[in-house]
Amino acid sequence: MKENNTIEAFVLAGGKSTRMGTDKGLALLRGKPMISYILATLQKAELPVRIVANNNAYEVFGLKVYPDMVPGKGPMGGLFTAFEHTTADMVLLAGCDMPLIPVEMVERLLSDTGHDKIVAPVLLGQVNPLFALYPRSLKQKLEEYIASGRLKMTDFILENKHVLLPPVAEEKPWCFQNINDLSQLREVEEKWGDLS
């Protein structure tokens, strides 16, 4: 990572969680709230961590929690909220539902950072927008996308300056698995020893 870059991590926990049936980040995985795994990983990487959520229950983690400033706009709204609440050059945006990301993957992402480019990993041919670095200098562009209803994160990445990390699926195909419902949660619990 370049020494003059400042980075803050923001974990998105503001989704509707309709498939989970409960607040996704607070759903228990191996006896702990699912969000606690990504929080711990980001803290191991020595990043300041914040949470974007509309639920005060997330304050239990002792971190700053910011309500989504543009509700109903999905992760784009979460990124806007992060930009509004940071003075850092870059925001590492992460979903609360990816508990298997290892600290090495965070370090890999940080090693490719640049002031003016989005840095995102590729998994199985797909760009992963919910574990990526976004320069705060794109705040005005982000506002334009939201105002025009263009809410697809992948489009935002590909239509702005970006660096795509080489595919990671070969080494750890499961590390970006996101958990959207109770059956996926149970599946990850059952396979935990093989995955972690």
Q: Specify binding-site residues for Mg(2+).
A: 97
- DSSP assignment, residue 176? T
Query: What's the CA gap between 23 and 80, in Å, rounded?
Result: 21
Binding-site residues for GTP: 12-14, 24, 68, 97
Provide the residue type at 71 as one letter: P
Cα 144 off chain centre by: 21
CA angle centred on 151, ends 145 and 154, rounded to 5°: 100
Binding-site residues: 12-14, 24, 68, 97
User: What H or E segment, with its residue span, contains residue 8?
Assistant: strand 7-12
What phi and psi values does residue 110 have, to the nearest 5 degrees? Answer: -65, -30
